[in-house]
Amino acid sequence: CSSYYGETSIFKHVKRARFGDSCSYSLGERMSIFDSMTYSKLTLSFLFQYITIDIWFSSPRDISQKLLNYHHSAVRMGEVDTAMISLQMGWRYLLYGGGNLSIISKSFEDRATLIAKSSDYAAKYVALDYALLAELTGQSADKLADIEGMVCNIEVLQTEAEFVNNNRLLHHINVNNVMLAYWRGDYISAEKSSHVAWKYPTAKMPTIVLIYHTFYGGLIAFKLFRTMGGVDGNKRLMEGRELMIAMGKWAQNSMAVFGNKWLLLSAEHSASIHEHDKCKKLYKASIKIAQDHGNIHELGLANQLFGNYCLSHECGVDANSCFKKAYTYYTQWGATAVAEKILRHHKLDLHTGDNTDLQVGSSKRSR
C-alpha cells in the first residue's frame, strides 16, 4: 500500500495549476464560480474531481458543508442521483471529521427514506455509515431497517456486493469493518479487515476512506505489536511505521488536516519502541493540534491513548485525568457509547477534578 503515498504532491501541483500559485480558491469559492455556470455541467465527475484535490488541504467538516450545498443545488436542478450521492458524501465527511453525531443521526433518519427511493448506490453507503454511527452512539443499527430499499445488514450487503463483483463497495465495507472493530476493542478482527481492504484496487484512490484507513490501520498495528508480540510483531511494527510515514507526508501539505493524526501515530510508534520521553511530548502535541483545529473526536482519542500509556508507564501524568478528558470530549462529540465504555472500564469518578475547561478551544468546530 506504499506506492500511492508519495503522490499527494501531484494534487498540490494540480491545485496550483488550476487555481494559481497561491492555491487561494477553496472548494466553496469554486462552487460559487460553478453556480454561475450552465446547470447542465452539474455532474458527479465535477464533484469527485474537486473533492479528490481538496481532501489534502481542507478539513472534512469544511468539505462536508460544500457537499451539502452541492446537494441543494443539484436538487434545484433536478439532478437526483447527484443530489443523493452528494448528500451521502456530505454526511460521511461530517461523520469522519468529528461532526456532532446527534445532528448527523437526525439527518440520517429524516432523509434515509428519500435516499433509498432515489439512489440505490447512495443507500448502500448510507447503511455503512449508519452502522458506524450506531456503534459510536449506542443506537440500534436496525433503526433504518424498515425503510424499503435500505439494506442495513452489513453481511447481506457484502454478499450482494460479492455476487456482482462490486469491488468499490467491498473495499468500503472492509474499511468500515476496521473502524467498527476498532471501537469495539476487537483489534484482531480490525487488522484482518484492514489487510483485506488493502487488496482492493480502489484502496489507494485518493478519498477520505484512504485517509482514515491509514490512520486506524496504523493505530491497530502499533496496538497489536505492543500487546501480542510474537512472530508477527516486527511485521506489525513495520506496517504501523509505514502508515505513520504516509500520514507524515500528508501532514506536510496540511498540518491542520493531518497533523494531529500523524503526531498520534508517531506517539504510538514511540511508545512501541520505548522512546518514553519523546512519546509523552508527541501525545501532548497531538492533543494540542486536535484542540486548536476543533477535531473533538480525535481529541478524545488522543487523551484516551495517552491515558492508556500512562497506566503502563510512570510518566508524571494521572491516567484518570486523561480518561476523564476523553470521556468529556467523546460525550461532546455525541459518541455516548464510547464515553460510557471508558467510564465503566476505568471506574471513573466524575465528581472529582475540574472538567469545566474541557471545551474545544477552536472556533473552527462550528458544526
Question: In the prediction, which pLDDT does 73 show?
Answer: 85
Tens-of-pLDDT digits for all 367 residues of the chain? 444 444 444 444 444 433 334 343 444 444 444 444 433 444 666 666 667 788 999 999 999 998 998 899 888 888 888 899 999 999 999 999 999 999 999 999 899 999 999 999 999 999 999 999 999 999 988 888 788 878 888 999 999 999 999 999 999 999 999 999 999 999 999 999 999 999 999 999 999 999 999 999 999 999 999 998 766 778 999 999 999 999 999 999 999 999 999 999 999 999 999 999 999 999 999 999 999 999 999 999 999 999 999 998 877 678 999 999 999 999 999 999 999 999 999 999 888 765 545 555 544 554 4
Question: In the prediction, which pLDDT does 35 show?
Answer: 44
Contact 180, 155 (CB under 8 A): no
- Type of residue numbered 211: I
Give the side-chain half-sphere CA count within 13 A for 183.
24
Report the 10 Å Cβ neighbour count for 146.
9
**DSSP state, 25?**
-
Question: In the prediction, which pLDDT does 287 show?
Answer: 98
C-alpha cell recorded at residue 207: 478519498
- Type of residue numbered 340: E
Question: In the prediction, which pLDDT does 23 show?
Answer: 40
Question: In the prediction, which pLDDT does 4 show?
Answer: 45
| Residue 273, C-beta contacts closer than 8 angstroms, at least 6 positions apart | 237
| Residue 235, C-beta contacts closer than 8 angstroms, at least 6 positions apart | none
Alpha helices in the chain (DSSP H): 8-19, 27-35, 44-54, 60-77, 80-96, 101-118, 120-137, 154-163, 167-184, 187-198, 208-228, 233-253, 255-272, 276-292, 296-312, 319-333, 336-345
| Residue closest to 14 by CA, chosen among 51, 69, 63 | 51
